[in-house]
């Protein structure tokens, strides 16, 4: 087994440490998408997928993936949220405020036990929490309490982990500052007291004309002061935070394809090389790790659905220009091709729920668009293919109104 990923990928690095993955099998290659290549030629791509694989291989931390099917789905959603929304946000203050509300009634993000989602959220919040002052941490007390819990649990598993413990005092609230209005009131009260004493001492009333003139001067000064304060407030007004948008599956270019030819890869026993018509002038060459799960005759003349806007990648010397989407059973023993509805033609668009926007021409690997969406791809009890969004809403895969399905797999993932 060899593991290839950018050496700055702290998430994979820390998870590998926590689950005691043998780092003698790790190869660091700069500027590469995180890729795990197994001895049988199977390729696992994406930071999230690799981390889950490492956890499952450890045998000791299977609970981290989720105990029930609902927990597993939630873990997937929170991992995607951590690796996209939290990680990529330039200003994490709005994110922290949102998490603070969510954590009002939670100890852990999923159910009542530590999961991979908590660990990855902790990793992506670390640099932000480190630089906060004590006062700022008390503005997000639920996030601070949660972060402190997770960091201590992580350090119990592996005391010499990459990150040091952040010193957090949960029992020392900051000394509140006096409000500006209170300071102004005190200043005004002192000034009025001095003026009253002076008036009594003099014992004289000022003339009406002189009094009116003084009032006008005073009012003019007050107007100038108010104008200056308003200008300063306007200049100091903070910029509006960037609105974080959720995953959008319409950015994926998923189409119906028809497999014209299929053969075994000459340099990899676990891989097939397919020629697939996806409604373009020329068919595409696609490499798939399906040898272990089906014979080549099951692929030839098969209608499939294909993700067409991934960046082409070379697999054992042959460049793959798309990905055939398949369902995987929860135990990993069965893989089935996703079937488009009857009557579908090569090139027909696959629409996910009401997400019918214009796909990206080519997905940017650094933005991890597919990685943020794919964990929600599932098969339901009717063997229909769906996307479970972060808000737990369900959106079916359809082609011209018909639903995409698999043969037998229920509650499986799709990739």
Q: What is the mean pLDDT of the chain?
A: 81
pLDDT of 172-184, one tens digit each? Answer: 555 555 455 555 6
pLDDT digit string, tens, across residues 57-98: 777 787 888 888 888 888 888 888 888 888 888 888 999 999
By the 10 Å C-beta count (0-12 exposed, 13-18 middle, 19+ buried), 329 is classed as middle
Residue 288 has pLDDT above 60, yes or no: yes
Which contacts (CB < 8 Å, 24+ apart) does range 165-168 have?
166/126, 166/129, 166/130, 168/137, 168/144
Query: Does the CA dihedral 185-188-194-197 come out positive or negative?
Result: negative
Burial bucket for residue 260 (CB in 10 Å: 0-12, 13-18, 19+): middle
pLDDT at 7: 40
Distance in angstroms (rounded) separating the CA atoms of residues 35 and 51:
11
Look up tokens 């090139």; give the residue. Answer: 347
In Å, how far from its chain's centre is CA 393?
Answer: 17
Angle subtended at Cα 107 by Cα 91 and Cα 11, rounded to the nearest 5 degrees: 50
Mean pLDDT throughout 94-109? 90
Q: 12-21, 272-281, 291-300: which has the minimum mean pLDDT?
A: 12-21
Domains of the chain by range and CATH?
Answer: 10-157 (1.20.1050.10), 249-413 (2.40.50.140)
- Between CA 165 and CA 317 the distance in angstroms is 45
Please choose, from the candidates 327, 272, 306, the residue with its C-alpha nearest in 3D space to the C-alpha of residue 42.
272
pTM of the predicted model over 0.85: no
| Per-residue model confidence (pLDDT) at position 280 | 93
From CA 48, how far away is CA 290, in angstroms rounded? 21
pLDDT tens string 338-356: 999 999 999 999 999 988 8
Q: pLDDT over 90 for what percent of the chain?
A: 33
Q: Is the pLDDT of residue 255 over 60?
A: yes
Lowest mean pLDDT among 13-17, 38-42, 299-303: 38-42
Helix H, strand E, coil C: the string for 245-262 is CCCCHHHCCEEEEEEEEE
Query: Which residues are within 8 A (CB) of 398 and not within 5 positions of it... i.e. 6 or more apart?
Result: 341, 350, 351, 352, 404
Phi and psi torsions of 140, nearest 5°: -125, 65
Q: Is 156 in a helix, a strand, or coil?
A: helix
Categorize the per-residue pLDDT at 214 as very low, low, confident or very high, splitting at 50, 70 and 90: low
- The DSSP secondary structure of 192-210, one letter per residue, reads HHHHHHHHHHH--PPPHHH
Confidence of residue 166 (pLDDT cuts 50, 70, 90): confident
Which two structure tokens, joined as six digits, stand for 369?
A: 């668009």
Which own/partner pairs from 401-406 qualify as long-range (CB within 8 Å, at least 24 positions apart)?
Answer: 402/340, 402/341, 402/342, 402/343, 402/344, 403/341, 404/305, 404/338, 404/339, 404/340, 404/341, 404/350, 405/338, 405/339, 405/341, 405/379, 406/327, 406/336, 406/337, 406/338, 406/339, 406/379
């Amino acid at each position: 087994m060899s593991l290839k990923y950018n050496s700055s990928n702290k998430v994979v690095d820390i998870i590998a440490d926590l689950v005691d993955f043998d780092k003698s099998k790790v190869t660091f290659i700069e500027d590469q998408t995180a890729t795990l290549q197994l001895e049988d030629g199977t390729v696992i791509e994406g930071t999230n997928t690799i981390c889950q694989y490492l956890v499952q291989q450890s045998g000791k931390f299977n609970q981290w993936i989720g105990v029930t099917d609902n927990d597993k789905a939630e873990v997937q959603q929170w991992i995607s949220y951590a690796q996209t929304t939290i990680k990529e946000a330039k200003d994490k203050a709005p994110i922290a405020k949102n998490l603070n509300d969510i954590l009002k009634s939670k100890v852990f993000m999923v159910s009542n036990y530590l999961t991979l989602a908590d660990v990855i959220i902790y990793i992506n919040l670390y640099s932000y929490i480190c630089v906060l002052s004590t006062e700022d941490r008390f503005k997000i007390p639920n996030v601070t309490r949660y972060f402190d819990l997770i960091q201590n649990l992580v350090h119990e598993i592996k005391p010499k982990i990459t990150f040091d413990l952040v010193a957090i005092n949960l029992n020392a609230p900051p000394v509140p500052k006096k409000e500006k209005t209170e300071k102004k009131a005190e200043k005004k009260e002192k000034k009025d007291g001095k003026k009253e004493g002076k008036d009594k001492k003099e014992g004289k009333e000022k003339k009406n004309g002189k009094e009116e003139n003084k009032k006008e001067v005073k009012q003019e000064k007050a107007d100038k002061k108010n104008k200056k304060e308003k200008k300063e407030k306007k200049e100091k007004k903070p910029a509006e935070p960037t609105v974080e948008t959720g995953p959008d599956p319409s950015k994926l270019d998923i189409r119906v394809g028809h497999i014209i030819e299929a053969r075994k890869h000459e340099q990899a026993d676990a891989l097939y090389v397919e020629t697939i018509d996806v409604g373009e002038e020329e068919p595409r060459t696609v490499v798939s790790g399906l040898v272990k799960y089906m014979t080549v005759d099951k692929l030839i003349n098969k209608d499939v659905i294909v993700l067409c806007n991934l960046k082409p990648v070379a697999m054992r010397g042959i460049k793959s220009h798309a990905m055939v989407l398949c369902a995987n059973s929860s135990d990993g023993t069965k893989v089935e091709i996703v079937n488009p509805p009857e009557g579908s033609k090569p090139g027909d668009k696959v629409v996910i729920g009401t997400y019918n926007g214009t796909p990206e021409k080519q997905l940017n690997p650094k933005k991890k668009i597919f990685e943020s969406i794919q964990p929600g791809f599932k098969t339901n009890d009717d063997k229909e293919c769906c996307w479970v969004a972060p808000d737990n809403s369900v959106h079916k895969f359809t082609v011209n109104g018909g639903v995409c399905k698999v043969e037998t797999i229920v509650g499986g993932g799709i990739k």
